Amino acid sequence: MEEVRAVIVQQEGTVSCNFEEVEGYIKERLKEYDGAIFTEESKGYAKKELAKLRAEKKELNDNLRDAKKKYMAPWDAFEPKAKELINLFDEPITLIDGQVKAFEEDRIAQKKALIEAIYTELVGDLTDIIPLERIYNPKWENATMKEKAIREATEQRLERQQAETAALSRARTSSDSREEMGREMARLAERKAAAESEYDQTVAKLWDEYQLSVSQAENLCVEFESLTALRAQVADLRGKIRALGSVNVSAIEEYKEVKARYDALIHQVTDVEESRNELTRMISKLSAQMREIFSDSFRAINENFGRVFTELFGGGEASLVLEDESDVLSCGIGIRVAPPGKVIKNLEALSGGEQALVAISIYFAILAVNPAPFCILDEIEAALDDANVVRFAQYLRRVSDKTQFIVITHRRGTMEAANVLYGVTMQEDGVSKLLKLDLEQVDATLVS
CATH number at residue 361: 3.40.50.300
Residue 356 belongs to a domain: yes
Q: 333 lies in a domain?
A: yes
361, 308 contact by CB (below 8 A): yes
The total domain count for the chain is 2
- Domain final residue pick, 313, 337, 370: 370
Residue where a domain terminates, one of 339, 370, 401: 370
List per-residue pLDDT tens for the chain, 448 residues long: 455 555 556 666 666 777 777 777 777 777 776 766 767 677 677 777 777 778 877 887 887 777 777 777 776 767 777 676 666 666 666 766 666 666 666 666 666 666 666 666 666 655 555 666 555 666 565 655 666 666 666 666 666 766 667 677 777 777 777 777 878 888 888 888 888 888 888 888 877 777 778 777 777 777 777 778 878 888 888 888 778 777 677 778 888 888 989 999 999 999 999 999 999 899 888 888 888 888 888 888 888 888 888 888 888 888 888 877 777 778 888 888 878 877 777 777 777 888 888 888 888 888 888 888 888 988 888 888 888 888 888 888 888 888 888 888 888 888 888 888 888 887 777 788 887 777 767 544 444 4
Inside any domain, residue 170 = yes
Q: How many CB atoms lie within 10 A of CB 364?
A: 22
pTM of the model: 0.39
Classify each residue of 84-112 as buried b or exposed e, where b means 16 or more C-beta atoms within 10 Å of its C-beta.
eeeeeeeeeeeeeeeeeeeeeeeeeeebe
219 inside domain: no
CA distance 159 to 420: 131
- Euclidean distance between the first and final Cα of the chain, in Å? 139
- Dmax of the chain from CA atoms? 164
Q: What is the 3-state secondary structure of 390-435?
A: HHHHHHHHHHHHCCEEEEECCCHHHHHHCCEEEEEEEEECCEEEEE
The boundaries of the domain holding residue 293 are: 281-370
